[in-house]
């Protein structure tokens, strides 16, 4: 009987003598709970964060179906633009067309580069959400909604232009003769996809990048204000330790931002330069 009691006692305790029955086992959180933990401090009305989640930029919200859909949405318009350049190639506008095509190609690379660092973004969002000070200004909200409306504005402009200048009941789409309304429908979908790849999506990524940088600036300003408002008597060791901890948090946040947005920011700048060059060249040629 004593041996049995000793066995049960040894089973219920670990090497350190702690009661195993009272130790809580850490379990892996479900995917939905991980995503909610990343975004729990952000405003529920923040559409940009929702868009980032649906575009598979969070490792916890990985979805193969959405990945395939967005891969097709980014790759197919680029291929169709290349086909159109080959069909309607002109020696005078070939370089300008290739420059314009490079913006879609760079927009696709931006999406893949964001996807490549999808494991880093949840860490970045968790680090930002600790302070609960990440928010959009009124100007950023206006810029966000204007950016999202660009595809629909482009479609409206092109549809009106083609409707006014239409003189026949048919048109050509990728070299095939179709009715005018079918051509308008196909071209509208193509215009929406193209304008989303560039400039809508790169501008949204740039908006997120600039918002995170502004968040870092706010945190630095808060630390500076705390130091300036603190007297020499109040600047104790514990206060200094707190400030050093906040500075270390900012350094970690800057490291995450640099790791996540170093390649996309370079691609965005390159795409903007290509777009400006093609527009400026079109004015000169015409």
For the chain, what are the domain ranges? 53-283
Neighbour count for residue 43 (Cβ, 10 Å) = 11
Q: Are 107 and 197 in contact (CB under 8 A)?
A: yes
Identify the three-state secondary structure at position 170: strand
pLDDT tens digits for range 110-130? 989 988 887 777 777 777 766
- Considering the entire predicted model, what is its pTM? 0.77
Q: Quote the pLDDT of residue 265.
A: 94
Reduced to 3 states (helix: H, G, I; strand: E, B; else coil), residue 230 is coil
Q: Which residues pair with 171 in a beta bridge?
A: 178
Residue that is written with structure tokens 């290509």 in the block: 274
CB 125 within 8 A of CB 38: yes
Six-digit token string for 13: 């305790």
pLDDT in tens, 187-220: 888 889 889 999 999 999 999 899 889 888 988 9
pLDDT band at 15 (very low <50, low <70, confident <90, very high): very low
Res 22: pLDDT: 41
CA atoms within 13 A on the CB side of 2: 0
Place of tokens 């506008």: 93
Give the side-chain half-sphere CA count within 13 A for 89.
9
* 222-268 pLDDT per residue, tens: 899 988 888 888 888 998 999 999 899 899 889 989 988 999 999 99
């Amino acid at each position: 009987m004593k041996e049995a009691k000793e066995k049960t006692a040894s089973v219920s305790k670990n090497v350190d003598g702690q009661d195993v029955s009272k130790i809580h086992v850490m379990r892996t959180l479900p995917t939905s709970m991980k995503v909610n933990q990343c975004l729990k401090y952000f405003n529920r009305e923040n559409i940009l964060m929702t868009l980032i989640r649906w575009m598979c930029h969070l490792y916890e919200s990985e979805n193969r179906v959405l990945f395939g859909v967005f891969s097709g949405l980014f790759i197919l318009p680029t291929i169709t633009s290349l086909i159109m350049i080959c069909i309607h190639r002109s020696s005078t506008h070939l370089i300008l067309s290739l420059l314009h095509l490079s913006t879609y190609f760079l927009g696709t690379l931006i999406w893949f580069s964001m996807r490549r660092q999808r494991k880093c973004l949840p860490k970045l969002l968790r680090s930002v959400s600790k302070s609960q000070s990440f928010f959009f200004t009124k100007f950023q909200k206006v810029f966000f909604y204007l950016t999202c409306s660009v595809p629909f504005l482009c479609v409206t402009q092109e549809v009106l232009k083609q409707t006014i200048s239409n003189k026949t009941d048919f048109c050509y789409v990728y070299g095939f003769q179709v009715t005018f309304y079918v051509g308008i429908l196909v071209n509208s979908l193509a215009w929406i996809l193209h304008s989303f790849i560039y400039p809508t999506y790169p501008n949204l990524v740039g908006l997120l990048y600039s918002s995170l940088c502004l968040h870092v600036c706010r945190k630095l300003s808060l630390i500076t204000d705390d130091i300036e408002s603190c007297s020499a008597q109040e600047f104790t060791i514990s206060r200094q330790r707190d400030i050093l901890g906040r500075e270390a948090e900012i350094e970690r946040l800057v490291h995450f931002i640099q790791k996540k947005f170093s390649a996309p920011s370079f691609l965005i700048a390159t795409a903007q330069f290509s777009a400006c060059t093609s527009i400026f060249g079109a004015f000169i040629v015409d």
